[in-house]
Structures are given as structure tokens and as C-alpha cells.
Amino acid sequence: MPVDVVAAVRESLPPGTVVDGELVVFDTEVGSTMFPALLGRITAGRHLAREAAARPANLVLFDVLADAGDDLTGLPLRERRARLEHLLTDAPPTLALCPQTSDVELARTWFDELGVTGAEGLVVKDLAGVYRVGGRGPSWWKYKRRVTVEAIVGGITGAIEDPRTLLLGRIDGRGRRLRYIARTVPLALSQRQEIGRLLTAATGVHPWPQPLPAAWIGRLDRREPQPYVQVEPLLVAEIVVDQAYDRGRFRHPVRHLRLTGRPRPR
């Protein structure tokens, strides 16, 4: 956890308190979260303090599992929420309480309008539900905002004749360079067979480095570069994406829907 957030937690929450939340860095100039700024802290090294000062992090809290050693997981959400609100009464802005409502129309407004801030969607929970460690359980649901876009296949993992995932890019604003934007979840067998028949291994200069830099993949749990097979950028795929889009790349793996054709000049 970032040192700035650790200090706020130590000052505000009693020992033995366990909370559920998410770290965010919010750019006030653009009005959106900045996931790459969190990734940058992993590799900041001796510059970590400077990075934290330039881009402060916040811990957005959803739930409390224990209060000063008192196990709360068996309590209904409405009671845990009240305990969490009490814990954060005098907390600094670094510890933020995630908004919650039982007003359906307000929730729909959040879903429709907060995507520009980096919010991916809504989590709906039963106010009478207890906390289930290690899983969502039957009392809560996650609704993500999703759309479909087109992207160009620039690489794969697996083999040319049997691709496992697609590495995707889009032509930059100048129409000159294929920029990496996303990796798909594992392909279905039928998709692997279809795409494997159409792929062509790259023979000339490829627009992406080999292997892909770890920062491009955007995974906090993996710092190693990603080896892959470079292919000629000849196929266009329609993909399903969510709103987690930071600095030109989708943060989460996307889902391949279908091939739509071949790239063409703008």
C-alpha cells in the first residue's frame, strides 16, 4: 500500500481493523482516475516519495470486516456500513467512503454519467447480506458498463495456427502507427480455429517491441515482459470492452466477439 495511504490508515483506524476498498489516483485536471499512476509507484524505487507527492493516492472504502478486532463479517451490510461511516467520521480525505444509495434512479444516473471519472459500473448488494470471504456470494452483483469497438490484431499468444489470446492495437491519430491497446481473454476453440487459418506471421519491422513491456500489459501482479508472436496487422476484430481505459489502453482483458475485416487507410 502507498506510504501516504498507510500513514492515513494508521492515524485514523484502530489496530485490528480490516477494511475492504480500492486504491485510486485521481487526476483533478481531467476529472478521472489514473491507473497508470498506481502502476508507476511499483517501479518508482527511490523516487517513490516524489511520485506520491506528485500524484497522491486515496483509499476508497466499500466495507469493514473487523472493527478493532471485532469480527463483523456475520453482520448484515446495513450494520457494517453504519460502523464504517462511524470509523471514518474524522478521517482525512485520503480515506474516502464509497457512495451508496438505495435510490434506483440515482444509481442509474451514476451508471450513466460517472463513466467519465473512471467508474466502471455498479455493485449491487443486499443490505441484509453478510460478508462472504473469498467470493461474491448470492447477495451481490456487479454491473459493468460495456461497449464494442474495433481493433487490429498485431500479435498473439500461443501459436500462429492455434492462438490463445489476441494482442490488439489501433492506428494513432496521425494514421501512422499501430499502438497497443489491449489483450483478449482466452479465445474459444471455434475462435482459435477461425483466426488461426487467417493469421500471417510478421516478416518485416513490427510496430511493437518483443517482448511487450510489462507496463503495457498493466498487471499489478506481473512485472515480467510478455513474450508473444508478432503477426502482420491484417485482421480487424470487434471486441467487448469496459470503461477501464487509461492513457490509450484498456486496463482489463477484453473479449473477442468476431472478425470484421481488414484495416484500411483513414
Say whether both 59 and 153 belong to one domain: no
Q: How far apart are CA 247 and CA 38, in angstroms?
A: 13
Is residue 43 pLDDT above 70, yes or no? Answer: no
Say whether both 188 and 244 belong to one domain: yes
Last residue of a domain, one of 74, 109, 133: 133
Computed from CA positions of residues 170, 172, 175, 178, in that sequence, does the dihedral angle turn out positive or negative?
A: negative
Q: Is residue 117 part of a domain?
A: no
Say whether both 157 and 94 belong to one domain: no
Q: Is residue 119 part of a domain?
A: no
Say whether both 129 and 167 belong to one domain: no
Q: Is residue 221 part of a domain?
A: yes
Domains contained in the chain, number: 2
Say whether both 129 and 19 belong to one domain: yes
Average pLDDT of the segment spanning 170-182: 85
Q: Is residue 186 part of a domain?
A: yes
CATH code at 244?
Answer: 2.40.50.140
Q: Tell me, what's the pLDDT at 224? A: 81
Average pLDDT of the segment spanning 124-144: 80
**Higher-scoring residue by pLDDT: 41, 163:** 163
Is residue 144 pLDDT above 90, yes or no? Answer: no
Q: Is residue 36 part of a domain?
A: yes
- Show the domain range for 231: 146-261
Render pLDDT for 56-86 as a digit per residue (tens, 0 to 9).
Answer: 888 999 999 999 999 999 999 999 999 999 9
Say whether both 84 and 189 belong to one domain: no
Q: Tell me, what's the pLDDT at 182? A: 92
Query: Which residue shows C-alpha cell 510478455?
Result: 226
Q: Is residue 239 part of a domain?
A: yes
Say whether both 128 and 16 belong to one domain: yes
Say whether both 31 and 90 belong to one domain: yes
Q: Is residue 113 part of a domain?
A: no
Q: Tell me, what's the pLDDT at 167? A: 96
The listed range with the strongest mean pLDDT (52-56, 144-148, 173-177, 185-189) is: 185-189
Q: Tell me, what's the pLDDT at 219? A: 61
pTM above 0.75, yes or no: no
Q: How many residues does the chain have?
A: 266
Say whether both 91 and 173 belong to one domain: no
Q: What contacts 24+ positions apart, CB below 8 Å, involve 65-68?
A: 65/18, 65/19, 65/20, 65/131, 65/133, 66/16, 66/17, 66/18, 67/14, 67/16, 67/17, 68/14, 68/15, 68/16, 68/17
Say whether both 181 and 128 belong to one domain: no
> Where does residue 104 rank: exposed (0-12), middle (13-18), buried (19+ CB within 10 A)?
exposed
Say whether both 7 and 129 belong to one domain: yes
Q: Is residue 107 part of a domain?
A: no
CATH code at 44?
Answer: 3.30.470.30
Question: What's the whole-number average pLDDT of the chain?
Answer: 85
Say whether both 82 and 184 belong to one domain: no
Calculate what percentage of the chain has a pLDDT beyond 70: 88
Render pLDDT for 216-245 as a digit per residue (tens, 0 to 9).
Answer: 876 655 668 889 999 999 999 999 887 666
Q: Tell me, what's the pLDDT at 15? A: 93
